[in-house]
Copies of this chain bind each other. A is one copy, B any other.
Amino acid sequence: MSSTSALAPRDRLLRTASRLFYAEGLHTVGVDRLVSEAGVTRATFYRHFPAKEELIVAYLRGRSQEIRAAVAQIPAHRRGREALLGIMQSVAEDVRRADFRGCAFLNAAAEYPDPAHPVRVAVEEHHAWFFQALRDQAAEAGHIDPDHTARLLVLLRDGALQGGALGNPDRVCDTLLRAVNDLLAAAEPTGGGDASAEHDVRRGTLGG
């Protein structure tokens, strides 16, 4: 309450929702918890969001916007291969975070089976955007099959995020980054295997 009391009620609600929804799940966190931890009354809640479901969608859209902003900050001189490396490295960073609990979007999808549900639509929008972002960079890097590269990177991301929430995060990160390294080395038009051009993925940063 003290850390968020300076914000507007709507922002306090959104910030609290982001924290609780991610940490504990969508169905388990009730409106009571939300309003009490945000220091907001129920009336104020329903003034800003017509239903709890709308807050969930807003939470997901907000998280998506954060990620899109981070990717958009990649400087022009780091496009292509460097960008792919940076994106996947930031995924690894997420996995290592102390409060890491998997992918917010995949977790949300697990709780909302209906593909037509607004929550699921928001999840699939983010997923589709992420694939497109990877595909664009793979194409810029001159990959022979940028679609396949992007699909495989998405698959690796999903696996790392959901598997990393169960097992040892450091090991999962290592496995992920090794795979990314090998994938990029092999999928590049230069034929891969060029030892002098090799970088250690683990040192890269995204947006920093």
Q: A interface vs B, CB < 8 Å?
A: 23-25, 27-28, 101-103, 106-107, 109-113, 123-124, 127-128, 131, 148, 151-152, 154-160, 162-163, 165-167, 171-172, 175-176, 178-179, 181-187, 192-193, 195-196, 199-200, 203-208
Contacts and interface: CB of A to CB of B under 8 A. Distances in A.
Contact of A28 (B27, B181, B200, B203): B27
Nearest to A101: B113
B113 A110 contact: no
A158 to B, nearest CB: 4
A5 to B, nearest CB: 26
* Most B C-beta atoms less than 10 A away, residue of A124, A192, A195: A192
Contacts of A195: 199
A157 to B, nearest CB: 7
Nearest to A27: B27
A183 B155 CA distance: 14
A186 to B, nearest CB: 3
Q: Determine chain A's interface SS by DSSP, over half rule.
A: helix
Contacts of A163: 127, 154-155, 158-159
Given A25-B113, A124-B166, A204 B186 contact: no
Contact of A165 (B109, B128, B166, B186): B109
A54 to B, nearest CB: 18
B175 A187 contact: no
* Most B C-beta atoms less than 10 A away, residue of A25, A165, A207: A207
Contact of A207 (B160, B171, B187): B187
A102 B110 contact: yes
A6 to B, nearest CB: 28
A185 B203 CA distance: 11
A192 to B, nearest CB: 7
